[in-house]
Structure 1
Amino acid sequence: MEMQIAIFLDYLAVERGLAKNTVESYQFDLKNFMAFCANRQVLDVRRIDRVLVLNYLLELKKLGRSPATIARHMAALKVFCRFLLDEGLLARDPTTNLESPGSGKKLPGVLDQSEVELLLEQPRIGNPAGLRDKAMLELMYATGMRVSELISLNVEHVDLESGYVRCTGKGSKERIIPVGSIAKKYLLEYLSRGRAKITANRTENALFLNMRGKRLSRQGFWKIIKKHARKAGIKEITPHTLRHSFATHLLENGADLRSVQEMLGHADITTTQIYTHLTDTRLREAFNKSHPRALKRVDG
């Protein structure tokens, strides 16, 4: 088991390009699991089964570990067991459809589709700053990019003729995301009528600029989205609200989970699955609100 954990950690660092801190977190959690297995004379990864994993999670709960800590250990085990399955060391994944006890995942805040429309209507495109804001918010909702990815874009990363944007995500992994017609339209307008009036330096290659002609910062984006949310009457918003809304609306309209995972740039599909919990919750709320017999009281 010790050898397989070492190979797995090397795989995370080299092949998946995860950050050093992330790999060390996996190492800590899996060493804890290995110690638990050793106490039960389980030294071979081929003996890891569902009962062992469940007992481990219950042990963590008995030790008073917080729901967030248990969820983190569970996430590490899921990735490790999937790796062992791919390597042919496990016949089946013992963590499939397994939720950690009291994991209590916090669901991200999302806007409904009408709220997104209202937010995207706020920028006034009669001036360069408004054109920039409109193109930027449309692109974020169209692609689900992280704020860091959005503000890191250069002009050459956008291929509007083909309708794609190329961005670099976590672990320096590059991905290609399709851009819809509306975002494409406003990006073209921004590039032709807005950006040139903002830039102070013709050699600046950043796509989105602040009004001094420099690359827009994360803080600058945060101020912009807050300003437009306030005008739209939207009280609760974060820099990643449009990213979360993008994923949720895709799934609500029939997109498959793997495609959404790819567009979001998630290394592990379990990260993307939180949006399925969110859509389930929204469907339940819609059902309870709309169906005449959903909440009908039953006597006797």
Structure 2
Amino acid sequence: MAEITTGSPQRALLRSDFALHLRAQRGVSEHTVRAYLGDLEHLLDHAVRHGLVRLDEIDLALLRGWLASMAADDLSRATLARRSAAARTFFTWAVRVGRVPTDPTLRLGTARASSVLPAVLAPEPVARLLDAARERADDGDPVHLRDWAAVELLYATGARVGELCGADVDDLDRAELTLRVVGKGDKERVVPFGRPAARAVDAWLTQGRPALAHDTSGPALLLGRRGGRVDQRQLRAVVHELAALVGVDDIAPHALRHTAATHLLEGGSDLRSVQEILGHASLSTTQRYTHVSAERLRSAFQLAHPRA
């Protein structure tokens, strides 16, 4: 059985084989691969600290103690849920490939992530943020034209920031006003956007992108100042800057995704359509946004109804 002591070649091989499984067979994102590998290292370090040497010595009691120790350290419920999921995924794979004879996670309780959603902006602050991006793009700076196109697309499509960063020019259908993106698990979907976003995209493609692109830029839809594909950190910084500029609560790009979903539902869209737009595997994930809308309705009722 594999030795799990720190620095052992067998532990390193275990890690690399598990990473290969995650990439090749489960098709998860690189972000998830890094997170799961970090969770595995954390578990193995915990096992070694408790005197274990081999992988097959890890049992249900140790796993429960591992999760309990993290709960005592006040780790978020989301982190606990992910580490629990990482352990299950790892041992399911380890049993299948013969690394351990039995799966100790079969009776492991499921840690559930918090269902609290990030802040959702009302339509008026969103309009101010998008107007600020448009006005800033009037200075002719190609990066500001990119920023305008980026925030318009994030709000219009509800795409994840990583999905937008990974989009290529050919993924746009400017006639149909749609954008093809690749989401979690390498699942492809086509999302619509409106004419305000189309105007920003057209300005970027005709004025901004040609000023930044060079021979090695490739097909990337959005470029950085040096002509390479824009990365997520750059777009996060853009959203933070614009939020500060117009005086709205500091938000991350993902909040624009949540805002788009909430506004779609409040505008009368059905859950299935919003599920398709967001690329949620489960309808229950999309249903969280109905809770936000219900809270707003309840708040409005309590403020306005004489017998609330």
Smaller-chain TM-score bracket: 0.5 to 0.7
- Per-residue CA deviation, residues 220-249 of structure 1 (Å, 9 max, x unaligned), is 111111111100101331220110000000
CA distance in structure 2 between the aligned counterparts of 1:152 and 1:286, rounded to whole angstroms: 40
2:288 — aligned with what? 274
Distance change in 2, residues 1:263/1:244 (3 Å): same
The alpha carbon displacement at 1:108 in A equals: 2.1
1:209 matched to 2:219? The reply is: no
The alpha carbon displacement at 1:290 in A equals 2.2
Partners in 2 of 1:180 and 1:207 — Cα distance?
A: 18
Distance 2:24 2:283 in 1: 19
Is 1:291 the counterpart of 2:294? The answer is: no
Q: 2:261 aligns with which of 219, 222, 247?
A: 247
Q: For 1:195 and 1:102, how far apart are their aligned partners in 2?
A: 43
**Contact map agreement 1:111 1:245 (CA 8 A) in 2:** yes
Distance in 1 (CA, whole Å) between partners of 2:112 and 2:217 is 53
Matched, 1:125 2:148: no
Superposition deviation, residue 104 in structure 1: 5.2
Give ranges in structure 1 of 5+ residues lacking alignment.
Answer: 1-12, 25-62, 77-99, 295-300
Q: Alpha-carbon deviations, 1:185-242, whole Å to 9, x = none? A: 2111110111101223365211111111111111111111111110010133122011
Paired positions, count? 221
Q: Does 1:181 align with 2:195?
A: yes
**8 Å contact kept, 2:168–2:220:** yes
Aligned letter for 2:152? E
Q: Indicate whether 1:111 and 2:121 are aligned.
A: yes
Q: Secondary structure at the match of 1:166?
A: strand
Secondary structure, aligned partner of 1:195? helix
Task: Give the superposed CA RMSD.
Answer: 3.3
Secondary structure class of the residue paired with 2:137: coil
CA distance in structure 1 between the partners assigned to 2:290 and 2:227 by the alignment: 40
The aligned counterpart of 2:212 is: 198
Any conservation in 2 of the 1:132–1:195 contact (CA below 8 Å)? Answer: yes
TM value normalised by structure 1:
0.65
Q: How does 1:99-178 map to 2 (within 5 A)?
A: 105-123=115-133, 124-126=136-138, 127=140, 128-178=142-192
Q: Which amino acid aligns with 1:149?
A: E
Task: Assess, with a 3 A threshold, how the Cα gap between structure 1 residues 189 and 101 changes in structure 2: closer, same or farther.
Answer: closer
Q: Which residue in the other structure is 1:5 paired with?
A: none
CA contact (8 A) 1:110 1:241 kept: yes
Cα distance in structure 2, aligned partners of 1:202 and 1:102? 44
* Equivalent residue in structure 2 for 1:238, among 252, 255, 259: 252
Query: Distance in 2 between the 1:116 and 1:281 partners?
Result: 19
1:273 aligned counterpart, secondary structure: helix
Q: Return the letter of the residue paired with 2:129.
A: L
Q: The residue matched to 1:240 in structure 2 has which SS?
A: helix
| Aligned-partner SS, 1:176 | strand
